[in-house]
Amino acid sequence: MKYSISISLIPLFYFKYSLFLITLLNLDFLKNFVYTENLPLAISFITFTAIATIIDTKNKRHNEDLNFKNFTEFLVYFPQLIAGPILRVKQLIPKLKNKILMNNTNLKFGLVLFTVGFIKKVFLADSIADYIDPFFEGEVNNPDGIIKSFLLFPLQIYFDFSGYVDMALGSSILLGISLPQNFNKPYLSTSLTDFWRNWHITLSSWFRDYLYIPLGGSRKSRANLFFNLILVMSAAGFWHGASLNFILWGFLNGLILFSEKIVGRIFNFPKFLKIFFTCFIIFNLWMVFRINEFSFLMSFIFEFYTNLNRIFLFENLLTLLILVAGIFSQKFDDFNKIKNFSNNIPLYVILPFVMIIILTGLGINAGSSEKFIYFEF
């Protein structure tokens, strides 16, 4: 099994990490052999799906008789292929055996869920990106822009990624195939541990099942728990990108997760304060995730906190209110609520509404849109 996993990782390391590792290790004589073009789409997700399949098959966690045909269908199932959710054999292959079922219920729910994802991506995430990207790239450097970027990036990445997942799940539901949810109101979490149960759920469960638990999880000493959390979260950070800032982001997540497990039970704050503290930690960590140059990261954070009093200026206060509204809106961004809503609306009402939304979005973006953030990973 270990040889199969190693072979599965070779393309990922070549296409995604060869340039980073050779540059980091100063192996200049190998630079002519590294890959420097755009990443092949879905390589990270395909690799992790393949590894999960190898391990689950070895440990008999499914009852499927895998062959080239059904494994290939499973591996390249188009809705989730590019940015997840990351699937297990038992979650999809049995469903692929069934005939496509495009009934009225699936059509309504699939169209509504797809449209919700489209709105998140095109109308919300892309609009935020157009506004804040220049500040993150250093093209514009002013305190108010930094404050707005800090406050709005958490919404951008959530609307962008969850928007893709909604469209993936909606497309699949149109075919009568339900995929696992990947988000569950993450910014309403009461701890970082809770956040990682609700954000990119299938990736978090992948690292839990195939790395954290095999390492011993939290079953042994505190030193072992610390090592496991740091290693797993650093690996999760490295999975996101070939850059030191991603490793640092993962390391800091692991450090805070360990701290929560050690001292988290001592404090018993009201729920809204727990949500506030958790969001504060997550939003600071997002800056490490977003900015890959360490000097610029330090400058960005310094400018933000030394000018924090400017948050009470009208435009910045309005941005803060937008952030709060975006967080609060997650109470309604609920898979089951969307399903119940679609069941109560006739298809002849849904179809024109969907067409108007999509055509308007395509018109606003001149038929194109910003690349999904997770296409980079």
35 with 14: CB under 8 angstroms?
Answer: yes
Picking from 128, 155, 143, the residue whose alpha carbon sits closest to that of residue 300 is 143
Catalytic residue among 120, 148, 240, 290: 240
- Output the six-digit token pair for 111: 């169209």
Question: Among this protein's residues, is 240 annotated catalytic?
Answer: yes
DSSP SS3 for 194: helix
Q: Which of 285, 89, 97, 287 is nearest to 175 (CA)?
A: 97
Distances from the Cα of 87 to the Cαs of 5, 16, 59, 100, in angstroms?
17, 21, 17, 19
- Name the burial class of residue 79, with classes exposed (0-12), middle (13-18) and buried (19+) by CB atoms within 10 angstroms of its CB: buried
DSSP single-letter state for residue 180: P
- Ordered DSSP codes for 316-365: HHHHHHHHHHHHHGGGT--HHHHHHHHHTS-HHHHHHHHHHHHHHHHHHT
d(CA 243, CA 16) in angstroms, rounded, equals: 10
Q: Three-state SS for 368?
A: coil
Q: In angstroms, what CA-CA distances link 125 with 122, 211, 369?
A: 6, 32, 10
What is the residue whose two structure tokens read 């973006």? 365
Enclosing H/E stretch for 209: none
Q: Which residues are catalytic?
A: 240
